[in-house]
Chain A
Amino acid sequence: MNKNDILAGLKEIITPYTEEKTALEHITEDTDFITDLKINSANLVDIVLDIEEKFDIAIDNDSMAKMLNVKATLEIIAQKQAENAG
């Protein structure tokens, strides 16, 4: 999966958890889940669980701690997928 595919998948996951439709439409690596998309922190847990299901990966606690923005999240998904493949 390339980065654009992962980003498209991530955008689909995030959609039900944000009211900030303009920020979502213009999502980039720099988009922050809390400050830009105003996602409730309780829903960050849902996003992590959705990512685990969709990408068939397990996200450990240290990785989850970093998942506050798109950039860190894309890196963690790619890293976990690589670990699965290896």
Chain B
Amino acid sequence: MLGNDVVDLKLAKIQSNWQRKNYLSKVFLPAEQQFIRDSNQPDCVVWLMWSMKESVYKIVNRNTGHRSFNPLAFQCSFNLFAAHAIGSVNYSGETFSTYSDITQASIHTLGYQSPASFENCKIIQTENHAGYASNFDKMYPALSLQKDKSGLPEIYMESTRSTHIASVSHHGRFLDLAYLL
């Protein structure tokens, strides 16, 4: 299984003030708060861990069908490089892997659960606007973005006539689609 999450950093700056009193303690565990305090780019670390938690929440939600808002149940660890981060998220005793792309404009995290691997997940980033599904189909004629019986996104691949589990995330200027090959 896979899940993804994108944060438009420009919009996040306007929408959210994580420096607000008590904000961090509702979202991040003490060790995660320490990562933020120790970093010389705290904004980046906040939204990196946020997108890691969200991407893995999407996996758990899809596996269980259960919705909740419990960011403290997802425990992040990561290695941060110049333009990406490789991490893992522990949820309820299970460890999920994450890969994050980091630019000045956005942070995108792909979370995946064995037997899915980074190599068999594909990510497409496009512009976010209303009617993105039909626009996507125009841009990628070999692929069709549709919904399964439960309303969850999937990709239909024309060449192989196969359907593939997909995860869609949009925030601000960005729309990111990830699917399992």
Contact = CB atoms under 8 A, between A and B. Distances in A.
Check if A and B associate: yes
Interface of A: 40-46, 48-49, 52, 61-62, 64-68
B19 interface: no
Contacts of B67: 68
B81 interface: no
Given A64-B69, A67-B69, A42 B15 contact: yes
Interface class of chain A by DSSP: helix
Nearest to A32: B67
Interface of B: 12, 15-17, 20-23, 26-27, 50, 54, 67-70, 72-73, 171
A40 B23 CA distance: 15
A40 to B, nearest CB: 6
Contacts of B16: 40, 42-43, 45-46
A48 B22 CA distance: 10
Given A40-B15, A64-B70, A46 B20 contact: yes
A48 B26 contact: yes
Nearest to A49: B22
Contacts of A41: 54, 69
A67 B171 CA distance: 21
A50 B21 CA distance: 11
Contact of A40 (B68, B72, B171): B171
Given A41-B54, A45-B23, A48-B26, A65 B15 contact: no
A44 B69 contact: yes
Given A46-B20, A46-B23, A64-B26, 19 more contacts: A40-B15, A40-B171, A42-B12, A42-B15, A42-B50, A43-B16, A44-B69, A45-B16, A45-B26, A46-B17, A49-B22, A49-B23, A61-B70, A64-B70, A65-B68, A65-B69, A66-B68, A68-B68, A68-B69
